[in-house]
Chains A and B, each alone.
Chain A
């Protein structure tokens, strides 16, 4: 039953991805000044939105781990698994943002990269969460999960800074598309629809790989617990 539900959800995700791609490439019109290269927007911005959402999942998981690590160890382990899954999937989406952004910038601005506030804070966010994953990969012992949770919480503090950077500071990066000044927003309804479908499609895709990664981590935790128990028994 669970397998069937996963398969059904995966089929919906694939359909959404195909529809989103069709909307972005064949339905939305060329933008007036940037022409075809503006279509990178339909992948770049949804990936950034989903990246923020999954770093929020990691934040909640880290808080959950620190809250329950003494009172409810099972809940704490679940929180830790969510924290790891959110951080890892968030890094994947952030990597996409950091690669598609310069490809778009090279054609739109004539440069691959500039050290402006939005780009720099996004790179710092990526580096913080890569260091989080490296900590989890190479550190050992009971303190590792606690240290990772603290780093995960500090890392999440950069998310609102990234979001607000092009409101707080003058940047090379364009002003906010939504929630900016009176002129912000997408005026063309087909462009808005293409954007909306791609946000939905990438969010659905992200949830699918997040759930898979969470389940893998839970299996890993259970296997580690069984192995630790066996090792203890063999020494008694």
Chain B
């Protein structure tokens, strides 16, 4: 593998990894918001504080 091919490979891997880090990071953020909303829902259905 020449230097150019190695760099091409590294940039391609970096782009694919960056894509998945962003997408899965956002999914985790939505998951955390879901948990918070669920807890608030349970607290509200338990009656007025």
Interface string of B11-37 (1 = CB under 8 A from A): 110111011001100110010011001
State which size class the interface on B falls in.
20 to 34
A residues 91-117 near B (Cβ < 8 Å) are 92, 95-96, 99-100, 103-104, 106-107
Residues in A whose Cβ lies below 8 Å from that of B15:
40, 43-44, 99-100, 103-104
Residues in B whose Cβ lies below 8 Å from that of A99:
15, 18-19, 22
A94 nearest CB across to chain B (Å): 10
Cα separation A162 to B41 with both chains bound (whole Å): 41
- Contact present for A233 and B48 (CB under 8 Å): yes
Q: Could you write out 13 A-B pairs with CB less than 8 Å apart? A: A34-B8, A36-B8, A36-B9, A96-B19, A99-B15, A100-B19, A103-B11, A103-B15, A205-B23, A212-B30, A220-B37, A223-B44, A230-B49
Number of A-B contacts (CB under 8 A): 83
- Contact present for B26 and A92 (CB under 8 Å): yes
State which size class the interface on A falls in.
35 or more
- Contact present for B7 and A107 (CB under 8 Å): yes
Residue of A with least CB distance to B31: A212
Q: 3 smallest A-B Cβ distances: which pairs?
A: A219-B37, A37-B8, A36-B8
Residues in B whose Cβ lies below 8 Å from that of A173:
none
Residue of A with least CB distance to B37: A219
- Given known contacts A103-B15, A216-B34, is B41 in contact with A92 (CB within 8 Å)? no
A residues 27-46 near B (Cβ < 8 Å) are 34-37, 39-40, 43-44
Residue of A with least CB distance to B38: A219
